[in-house]
Amino acid sequence: MALSARSRQILGVLVAALVGVVLVLAGLDRADFRCDRAAATCSHSAGLWGFERTRDIPLDAIVDHRFDGHDSRAGRRGVTVLIDASGRELPVGLADEATARAHYDDLHAFFQGQRSAVAVTTGPTWWLVVFGLVVLVASPWLVRPSGPARAAAPVDTATRRGASAPVIALVVGVLVLLGMSASILTSRTQGSLALRCTQRCDVGGGSCMPGSEMVLTLAPGEHEVRVFNPDEPASPIVHRVAVVRGQVTHFECAR
């Protein structure tokens, strides 16, 4: 059933208002990371401005840090990644590459003992908040009816019907059958590796974070599992784990 022009306008206003709300919330996002050498602790706050959640991190729990850069639609972006003793990562100071690099230099100097304190703050983005408010307030005027309402269909026009229930049931049944067949085929030709992680570990292109579990479907044979080494963060502890076809191999990622 086609929507009337009035209904389409109301729907458009609601969508525009939703976009405005999302922009405002994105603009109010704020993150703050501070470390004090005298107190031997760091604090990390993140969330909407005025409603941030804060947690304290012992200074000696941070064993390594690095700078990551990536391309985005807004241009080149960067972030400092802090790594704790279990391999868990905490991104700090996500911003454009120049600003993020300056944040990294400040943090690096602190962790090298060259500074007594450091603070990295990102957000709020006030221009985004203002733009979102403009969209939100102006949404009734931004959306106009696109034209006259469609003429009602003649009474004697045949009603078009969608797919019948038997056809829909048949399609669903075929999809379920294909899924079951693929699952059975995979279980007979592949093996599974179940990871329980107390330290971060990497297998292929996947990562298992501390405190989590992960099951991977892999080809039979030996696979390399790299466990994070807090003593030498750049040199993980490498294990060779055998995966058997049709079976589940359990492995605990720990030091």
What per-residue confidence (pLDDT) applies to 119?
A: 94
**What domain count does the chain have?**
2
What per-residue confidence (pLDDT) applies to 57?
A: 92
Residue 234 in domain: yes
In sequence order, which residues have a C-beta less than 8 Å from that of residue 56 and are 6 or more positions away?
41, 42, 43
**CA 136-142-147 angle, 5° bins:** 145
Question: Strand, coil or helix: what is 21?
Answer: helix
What per-residue confidence (pLDDT) applies to 118?
A: 94
Question: Strand, coil or helix: what is 177?
Answer: helix
Domain boundary among 120, 144, 174: 120
Domain boundary among 77, 99, 120: 120
Residue 194 in domain: yes
pTM above 0.75, yes or no: no
Q: Is the bond preceding 220 in cis, omega lying within 30 degrees of 0?
A: no
Question: Strand, coil or helix: what is 219?
Answer: coil
Q: Are residues 111 and 34 in the same domain?
A: yes
3-state secondary structure 148-174: CCCCCCCCCCCCCCCCCHHHHHHHHHH
Q: Are residues 114 and 34 in the same domain?
A: yes
Distance separating alpha carbons of residues 193 and 224, to the nearest angstrom: 11
In sequence order, which residues have a C-beta less than 8 Å from that of residue 116 and are 6 or more positions away?
36, 37, 38
Residue 96 in domain: yes
Residue 45 in domain: yes
> Within 13 Å and on the Cβ side, how many CA atoms surround 64?
16
Residue 210 in domain: yes
Tokens standing for residue 170? 């048949």
What per-residue confidence (pLDDT) applies to 151?
A: 46
* Residue 205 main-chain phi, psi, to 5 deg: -100, 5
Residue 211 in domain: yes
DSSP 19: H
Residue 61 in domain: yes
**CA 40-41-45 angle, 5° bins:** 165
What per-residue confidence (pLDDT) applies to 34?
A: 94
What per-residue confidence (pLDDT) applies to 153?
A: 47
What per-residue confidence (pLDDT) applies to 114?
A: 92
DSSP 42: E
Residue 175 in domain: no
Domain that holds residue 44: 29-120
225: domain CATH number is: 2.60.40.1120
Domain boundary among 64, 85, 120: 120
**Nearest to residue 209, comparing CAs of 219, 195, 199?**
199
pLDDT mean for each 10 residues of the chain (255 residues): 69 82 89 93 90 91 89 84 86 89 94 93 90 85 58 49 54 67 61 87 86 86 90 88 82 85
CA distances to 77, 96, 106 from 73, rounded to whole Å, are: 9, 11, 26
